[in-house]
Amino acid sequence: EAQVTQNPRYLITVTGKKLTVTCSQNMNHEYMSWYRQDPGLGLRQIYYSMNVEVTDKGDVPEGYKVSRKEKRNFPLILESPSPNQTSLYFCASSGTPKTYEQYFGPGTRLTVT
Amino acid sequence: GQSLEQPSEVTAVEGAIVQINCTYQTSGFYGLSWYQQHDGGAPTFLSYNGLDGLEETGRFSSFLSRSDSYGYLLLQELQMKDSASYFCAVFNNNDMRFGAGTRLTVKP
């Protein structure tokens, strides 16, 4: 089954404790992206990757890191999480040329206390 | 700056037609997409307009006017299961920008 998977689905952590949210897709998509969703703000892009070893900042990259060492994986790293990073996070992927048709993972609800 | 504007809420009755508008200000515009998100779920792709005009997919249609920086999503023969949030999104210069979303409530 074609899908995007994220882990963990739920995470409660404390300020400053480094964490990684994994994202994997099995559709051989070139484009991958991370979003955060907050009430009233819609989806905001954090980082995106056009292909392996190619990443770029989205709208709200501060406090986040990503890497794209393999085509299928695109982990999101919070080196020192803060309470304002409490949010619902989605990973998405898409293939060329239909890069606009993104497939989303199930989401990761993160709470930072 | 870059922005997308869409109404925050829309209510309609089963069987009716509803139109959700989206206006945008962005650079390097390639096209306008629409996504649906049910409560507790992930966004799912509905449609894309790369050129001016109407695209039809079953009960859903989407329209784009590049000259007016405007598009809309038209939902016909509304069903209860169409109650969800709908997002317009612009793909430009390799990044995606989403509107804040329109919450559609379909009443019996």
- Give how far Cα B102 sits from Cα of A43, B40, B52, B56, Å: 12, 15, 22, 20
**Of the partner residues B31, B44, B99, the one whose CB lies closest to the CB of residue A100:** B31
Burial grade of B13 (CB within 10 A; 0-12, 13-18, 19 or more) = exposed
- Contact between A101 and B100 using a beta-carbon 8 Å cutoff: no
Task: Give the residue from A41, A45, A40 showing the smallest Cα distance to A92.
Answer: A45
- Contact between B100 and A50 using a beta-carbon 8 Å cutoff: no
Model pLDDT for residues B51-104, shown as the tens digit of each residue = 999 999 899 999 999 999 999 999 999 999 999 999 999 987 788 899 999 999
- Contact between B42 and A43 using a beta-carbon 8 Å cutoff: no
Interface membership of A6 toward B (CB under 8 Å): no
E strands, A1-113, in order: 4-7, 10-13, 19-25, 31-38, 42-51, 54-57, 65-66, 76-78, 87-94, 103-104, 108-112
- Contact between A56 and B95 using a beta-carbon 8 Å cutoff: yes
Model pLDDT for residues A5-63, shown as the tens digit of each residue = 999 999 999 999 999 999 999 999 999 999 999 998 899 999 999 999 999 999 999 99
- In the block, residue with structure tokens 């559609």: B104
